[in-house]
Amino acid sequence: MTRIQRNANIGAVALPFAAFLAAIPLLWNNVVGWTDLAILGSIYIATAFGVTIGYHRLLTHRAFETYRPVKYLLAIMGSMAVQGPVIGWVADHRKHHAHTDEEGDPHSPHVGHGSGIRGLWHAHTGWLFESNGLADAKRYARDLLEDDGMRFINRWFIAWVLLGLTIPFGLGFALTGTLAGALTALFWGGLVRVFFLHHVTWSINSICHFFGRRRFETDDKSTNVAWLALPSLGEAWHHNHHAFPRAAVQGLRWYEIDVSGLVIRVMKRLHLAWNVVQITPERQQQRLAQAA
């Protein structure tokens, strides 16, 4: 990783974190309005879907197919989450699945940094300054490299990040008619939103490979963490995901809330998604029988 990349990642982590620290006394003193919170929540959900449905289930694992404009829109929404350019993100995640919790995994809490606090730190944030974006895209994301639209979206990553900050600013100004309203919307719907989504996503790398429940026999230490399921929009059924990586719906039981999976089901009904990979109860039982 170059010094420029490392410094850029430090800034992308530190600035939203500083905003969160500033948000605590502001929230305590009621220096936030319902407009700000509504903008924060709506943009959080939109950009989180860009990561969970776009970056992850569609582009990394090909859990379903969709029209090219929808695919590009999801990639842009994922870029606005400020988690890295789409091709590097996909390459890193495919490498993670190729070497899960073994040497070569970009962000395992169990490899190279011990299995305690240091390992958790590495999986949660530390890897961003060491191995983030270093997976060989020609090996792990060749399909995206061969897509002109994806290369364009990847190349203009900074523009999408700025768009993700401009939208809350514009919404704040449109809804309040004041510069102060625009700036507070930028603060909450931009920087604070990025902080929350960062740490929810990174918790899948750290917590969901360290604490939680397991059901299937897998060659890794992935876990399901129920309390993370809602803020992660279903990604915290991570052990289910490692048992069935191409599953479009990762909540495999009726009580496992998977909002991203629900959206993909709705997209299928609207004919916006097809070839949706679904895991039948019979296939789950086969895996359970293997574990037994």
pLDDT at position 230 is 97
Number of domains the chain contains: 1
pLDDT at position 3 is 77
Determine, yes or no, domain membership for 258. no
pTM: predicted TM-score of the whole model, two decimal places: 0.95
Residue 27 to residue 36: CA distance in whole angstroms:
11
Residue 179 to residue 186: CA distance in whole angstroms:
10
What is the three-class DSSP state of 10?
A: helix
pLDDT at position 292 is 66
pLDDT at position 113 is 73
pLDDT 10s per residue in the chain (292 long)?
A: 677 788 888 888 999 989 888 888 876 666 678 899 999 999 999 999 999 999 999 999 999 999 999 999 999 999 999 999 999 999 999 999 999 999 999 999 998 776 788 999 999 999 999 888 889 999 999 999 999 999 999 999 999 999 999 999 999 999 999 999 999 999 999 999 999 999 999 999 999 999 999 999 999 999 999 999 999 999 999 999 999 999 999 999 999 999 999 999 999 999 999 999 999 999 999 888 876 6
Determine, yes or no, domain membership for 24. yes
Determine, yes or no, domain membership for 252. no
Residue numbers of the domain that contains 169: 3-213
Which residue blocks in the chain are alpha helix, DSSP H? 3-28, 34-49, 68-79, 86-98, 117-124, 137-140, 142-145, 148-155, 157-176, 179-186, 193-206, 238-243, 259-269, 281-291
Determine, yes or no, domain membership for 290. no
Cβ pair 188, 165 in contact under 8 A:
no
Identity of the residue numbered 181:
G
pLDDT at position 283 is 92
Residue 209 to residue 222: CA distance in whole angstroms:
4
Determine, yes or no, domain membership for 190. yes
Determine, yes or no, domain membership for 130. yes
Determine, yes or no, domain membership for 115. yes
pLDDT at position 28 is 66
